[in-house]
Amino acid sequence: MLELRNLHVAIGGSEILKGIDLKVNAGEVHAIMGPNGSGKSTLASVLAGREEYEVTSGEVLFQGENLLEIDAETRAREGLFLAFQYPVEIPGVGNTYFLRTALNSVREHRGQPPVDAIDFLQLVREKADVVKLDPSLLKRAVNEGFSGGEKKRNEIFQMAVLEPRLAILDETDSGLDIDALRIVSEGVNSLRSPDRSFIIITHYQRLLDHIIPDFVHVLKDGRIVESGGRELALELEARGYDWLDSDPALEISR
Amino acid sequence: MASKPLFQPDFASPAHPMKILATLGSKARDRFEELGFPSRRDEDWRLTSLAPVTDHQFAKAPEATVTTEGWTLPDAVIITFVNDRVVTEIDKGDLPPGVTITALSSAAATHPHLIENHLGRLARIDDQPFVALNTAQGLEGALIHLAPGTNLDRPLDIVYNTTGDDIVTYPRTLIIAEEGAKATVLETFVGDGRSLICPVTEVAVGPNTSLSHTRLVEINTEGSCVGSLSVTVDEHATYRLSSAALGGSLVRADIRVDLVGEGADTVLDGLTLVGGNEQGTAHVIVDHRVPNCTSTQRFRSVLDGRSKAVFTGRIIVAEDAQKTDARQSSRSLLRSSDAVAHNNPQLEIYADDVRCTHGSTVGQLNPEALFYLRARGIDRSTAEGILTLAFAAEVLEGIPIEAVRSRLADQLTARLGQPSHQFSKRKAQDTMKFGDLER
Ligand SMILES: Nc1ncnc2c1ncn2[C@@H]1O[C@H](COP(=O)(O)OP(=O)(O)O)[C@@H](O)[C@H]1O
Ligand SMILES: [Mg+2]
């Protein structure tokens, strides 16, 4: 599904990601954990196609294609989805209108006919229910005046509508209370399938009590310093990140 | 002025048979000859390049009587101008009671007091060269009169057609809404060639009257429209204006609203969309002459290519106009790094107990919002169109007639369909976001 080989990324001349290797197969759920500022959102943004980040070396394959050569909208149409850490408010653009335009762009790319307004409304009602999103929010402008939790639910709701192949969730758990966390997690779990993969970025392990990952990676200072199974998340919860050294070369002397 | 303008208006038409109009016309002609075209030294015209008007010879439009096929509002009272003249045969039986629509020339005979008290009194020739020019050119336009208490449930749709190249037209309309009247008026200025339209509209809004006014300028990129709108709003009356101009070599509106009766309220919205080498200007004066009036101005411009948009909004609050509440916001969206927008709020406040707010921003599309839409599969140019339409939404939504609103939205979408110029990456980063600076 997705393969990163020695990915280096810089912004404004400073290197943020310093050689990431990662392989995500179809149906797998990978968690990426790490302290603030370690480069998690940078990784998510680069994968989603943000142009201000500069890939200085390495490569990324998505469904066998060179992802870095494709623009953001085409990545989305080919099934890559990013649930933003900070979803932007877009005054004047209606949520429903926006999402229908997005869905029809994706469908057109897949060679499917556009959905009409009535079928779309039906679909939206169904999917809003998955994350218990208050349907009245759909009448508002995109994310405008939404609470932090509502914004996060809206991201997962959009994911449910767009049915991506690979979803990257950037700290979707932050700002959610226990109930909302459970609802959002159930929403994500209901979308798990053998041909859909997830990269779940978080720095708390509590989300991973609900969404059980197949692999856990620790990102620190732009490098993956540790990878393991779900037990790694528990260890991180107990011991923090400090015991992990950011420079793998130093591991020998530990 | 640097050189003699190529455009020499033709004043050859015979004096008007109605004395009152003839007198007005000859005074205006004298005044125009004194004033000449405005120059860049004139503060109100400093940012306007008049070249599209002065560097070209426009002939006075021939007298045309054929009605062109154009878009009109369904279920409206339609008044059609072709060039300078009203060509609609207003069927008196078809007009709602209390409504008079007549050519100015006949009105001078049938309603001399209305003409005397209003025509040329709202739009002043002394300091406005284009008003003088219009007034000097025959006054062939229309009078629309609403008797006291008239509640017009159908909109009035006035279409001004200017057809052909190299001609100039001077449409003139006087609207008088007497006490307690209620009406919705649409004016559409249509030009299909390299022509110049110099319209003047005067509107007197009587006490307790509610008038909703929409003005659309639909000319092509070779045409120009330099128009003037002068309004007085009497006590407890409401005057609401939505004004939109989609392109034009030079499209300028000089709008003056005088609040002359206590409790008067006005809301003025404007949208200018320019691209290529086009120039759009809204020059607005709101004059609070008496206490307890409210005014709101919301002006937006969207610029592509190497275009220029200017908004000047002057709020005048007279010395005894206490408890004035005046608001103004102007925002420009630059879709190209070669376009230039000027927003100039001007406050002249002589009273002390007033509330005046103004805010103005010039910005680009929010790159975060653009990325968000693209990250959901929406291609860049569609996403830019969606965000631009959203920028204009406030003004669009203020248009009271649904058919006009959706037509304008369609026209905007069609115009925005052409991919806009891309910003360099460096520029996109020091972009500010809308909302940051407002107020
Ligand atoms: N647009 C940017 N410009 C400059 N520095 C950036 C930018 N985005 C991120 N960074 C820097 O990159 C590092 C990683 O940030 P980020 O990817 O947001 O980390 P995380 O998501 O793990 O908290 C931080 O030091 C941050 O300051
Ligand atoms: Mg982050």
pLDDT per residue as tens digits for the range B140-187 = 899 999 999 999 999 999 999 998 889 999 999 999 999 999 999 999
Q: What is the pLDDT of residue B1?
A: 47
Instruction: Give the integer Cα–Cα distance in Å for A9 and A24.
Output: 19
Would you say residue B421 has pLDDT above 60? no
Q: How far is the CA of A164 from the centre of ligand 1 (A)?
A: 26
Would you say residue B19 has pLDDT above 60? yes
Q: What is the pLDDT of residue B83?
A: 86
pTM of the complete model: 0.88
User: H helices of chain A, where?
Assistant: 40-48, 72-77, 95-109, 117-130, 148-162, 178-191, 207-210, 230-239
Share of chain A above pLDDT 90, in %: 74
Q: What is the H or E stretch that residue B105 is in? A: helix B104-110
Q: What is the pLDDT of residue B115?
A: 95
Coil, helix or strand for B84? coil
Q: How is chain B split into domains, by residue range?
A: 19-261, 366-439
Q: How confident is the model at residue B430 (pLDDT cuts 50, 70, 90)?
A: very low
Sort A121 into a burial class: Cβ within 10 Å, 0-12 / 13-18 / 19+: middle
User: H helices of A110-147, where?
Assistant: 117-130
Instruction: Give the integer Cα–Cα distance in Å for B378 and B410.
Output: 19
Q: What is the pLDDT of residue A251?
A: 45
> Does B397 contact chain A (CB < 8 Å)?
no
Q: What is the pLDDT of residue B362?
A: 96
Instruction: Give the integer Cα–Cα distance in Å for A50 and B374.
Output: 10
Query: B213 - beta bridge partners?
Result: B185, B241
Q: Which residues of A touch B377 (CB under 8 A)?
A: 73, 76-77, 102-103, 105-106, 109, 162
Q: How confident is the model at residue B34 (pLDDT cuts 50, 70, 90)?
A: very high
> Where is pLDDT greater, at B254 or B108?
B254
Rounded to a whole number, what is the distance in Å from the CA of B379 to chain A's nearest CA?
6
Average pLDDT over residues B347-366: 96
Helices (H) and strands (E) in chain A, counts: 8, 12
> Does B431 contact chain A (CB < 8 Å)?
no
Task: For residue B20, give the nearest of B89, B93, B111, B115 by alpha carbon.
Answer: B115
Structural contact between residues A81 and A162, judged by C-beta atoms closer than 8 angstroms: yes
Q: What is the H or E stretch that residue B34 is in? A: helix B19-35
Tokens of B123: 């739009």
pLDDT in tens, B376-401: 999 999 999 999 999 998 899 999 99
Q: What is the pLDDT of residue B417?
A: 66
Query: CB within 6 Å of ligand 1 — which residues?
Result: A 11-12, 16, 34, 36-42
Q: How far is the CA of A202 from the centre of ligand 2 (A)?
A: 8
Q: What is the pLDDT of residue B214?
A: 97
Average pLDDT over residues B57-76: 79
Instruction: Give the integer Cα–Cα distance in Å for B28 and B35.
Output: 10
pLDDT in tens, A46-75: 999 999 999 999 999 999 999 999 999 999
Would you say residue B368 has pLDDT above 90? yes
Structural contact between residues A237 and A31, judged by C-beta atoms closer than 8 angstroms: no
Which atom of ligand 1 lies at the shortest distance from residue A203's CA? 22
pLDDT in tens, B245-292: 999 999 999 999 999 999 999 999 999 999 999 999 999 999 999 999
> Where is pLDDT greater, at B236 or B192?
B236
Instruction: Give the integer Cα–Cα distance in Å for A235 and A254.
Output: 18
Average pLDDT over residues B27-52: 93
The ranges of chain A with pLDDT < 50 are 250-254
What backbone torsions phi and psi does residue A156 show, to the nearest 5 degrees?
-70, -35
Query: B161 - beta bridge partners?
Result: B82, B190
Q: What is the pLDDT of residue A244?
A: 74
Ligand nearest to the CA of A219: 1
Which residues are found with C-beta within 5 Å of the ion, ligand 2? A 40-41, 85
Q: How far is the CA of A30 from the centre of ligand 2 (A)?
A: 16
Would you say residue B69 has pLDDT above 70? no
CB atoms within 10 A of CB A143: 23
Would you say residue B318 has pLDDT above 70? yes
Rounded to a whole number, what is the distance in Å from the CA of B300 to chain A's nearest CA?
14
Average pLDDT, chain B: 89
Q: What is the pLDDT of residue A238?
A: 78
Cβ of A72 and B375 within 8 Å? yes
Return the residue whose CA atom lies nearest to atom 18 of ligand 1.
A41
> Does A72 contact chain B (CB < 8 Å)?
yes
Average pLDDT over residues B185-193: 93
Tokens of B182: 């209620």
Cβ of B374 and A76 within 8 Å? yes
Instruction: Give the integer Cα–Cα distance in Å for A44 and A9.
Output: 12
Q: What is the H or E stretch that residue A90 is in? A: strand A90-94
Q: What are the DSSP calls for B276-287, one per residue?
A: TT-EEEEEEEEE
